[in-house]
Amino acid sequence: MIISSHMVWGYVFGKATARFQTTKPNLALLILVGALPDFDLFTSQPYGTLFGHHGISHSWVVIVLISLPFFYVFGARTLPYFVGVLQHPMFGDLVANHIPLLFPLTLSETGLNLSENNPTVEIALEIIGFLLFLMLFISSGDWKMQLPRTKWTRLWLLLWVPPLLLTATQGFLYYEPDLLTQIYSAYAIFSSLSLLVTCATLAFHSVR
């Protein structure tokens, strides 16, 4: 899955989890956490190595261990963010690609790998996630929610920008003249730019 798809699915799963809580999650952080494992794209390590893409950051074991201190400090309020980041490897990449499911025993990757075995279904899954995001984001009124005016909120929103710009750029770079790739390229560009607009909207509401 591309980064924008991980972000919207993180929002969908996180919002579903937050429905059982009285406090509302910080939207800037909730949407960001879906992309966090893919920040390994900005390392210089080879794909599939410990600190490369689909390495340690895509291990559910590592995500659980890192989350434990947050559960200790913030309690159940951590749960939507935890679910939002955990869905990245355990739903998005396990279905669309493959992950080191048995880390730390091995870095060997496991998954359905629909991006190669059935790309039509995989792309449909990403588009469905984006449509669910739009439906929930608009119907819940999240688009006009005023975020906390803190340096942390500004940081969460700022961290949206590099991965989304990377995804939009890849939509142009990986363009090919077959229909399926055209659809995917258009989706990558549209979803990334839409999330950047969402980022700007949330930023505006946080400073009013």
- What are 72-117's pLDDT values in tens digits? 999 999 999 999 999 999 999 999 999 999 998 888 999 999 999 9
Residue 194 lies in a domain: no
Instruction: Find the DSSP H helices in the chain.
Output: 3-18, 27-33, 60-74, 79-87, 94-96, 114-117, 119-139, 151-173, 179-207
Q: What torsion do the CA atoms of 74, 42, 152, 126 make, to the nearest 10 degrees?
A: -70
Residue 155 has pLDDT above 90, yes or no: yes
Residue 38 lies in a domain: yes
* Residue 208, pLDDT above cutoff 70: no
Q: Which residues pair with 110 in a beta bridge?
A: 99
Q: Tell me, what's the pLDDT at 174?
A: 75
The pLDDT tens digits of the residues spanning 170-183 come to 998 877 788 999 99
Mean pLDDT computed over every residue of the chain: 93
Residue 166 has a pLDDT of 93
Q: Is residue 36 in some structural domain?
A: yes
* C-alpha angle 44-60-58 in degrees, rounded to nearest 5: 20
Query: Considering its fold, how many domains does the chain have in total?
Result: 1
Question: Which residue segment(s) compose the domain that 94 sits in?
Answer: 3-148
- Nearest one of 40, 31, 39, 1 to 13, comparing CA atoms: 31
Residue 193 has pLDDT above 80, yes or no: yes
Note whether residue 173 is domain-resident: no
Predicted confidence at residue 144, as pLDDT, reads: 87
pLDDT for 25-64, tens place per residue?
999 999 999 999 999 998 888 988 899 999 999 999 999 9
Distance CA(179)–CA(32), nearest Å, equals 30
In this prediction, residue 13 has a pLDDT band, given cuts at 50, 70 and 90, of very high
**Residues whose CB is less than 8 angstroms from the CB of residue 88 and which lie 6 or more positions away in sequence, other chains included:** 6, 9, 10, 34, 35, 36, 37, 38, 58
φ, ψ for residue 99 (rounded to 5)?
A: -135, 165
- CA angle centred on 42, ends 195 and 81, rounded to 5°: 50
CB 176 within 8 A of CB 52: no
| Cβ atoms within 10 Å, residue 68 | 11
Provide the token pair at 47. Answer: 């794909």
Asked if the structure places residue 208 within a domain, the reply is: no
Domain assignment present for residue 157? The answer is no
Q: In whole angstroms, what is the distance from residue 208 CA to residue 206 CA?
A: 6
Residue 192 lies inside a defined structural domain of this protein:
no
Residue 163 in domain = no
**Other Cβ atoms closer than 10 A to 38:** 24
Specify the pLDDT at position 169: 94
Task: Using alpha carbons only, give the angle 190, 195, 199 rounded to the nearest 5 degrees.
Answer: 150
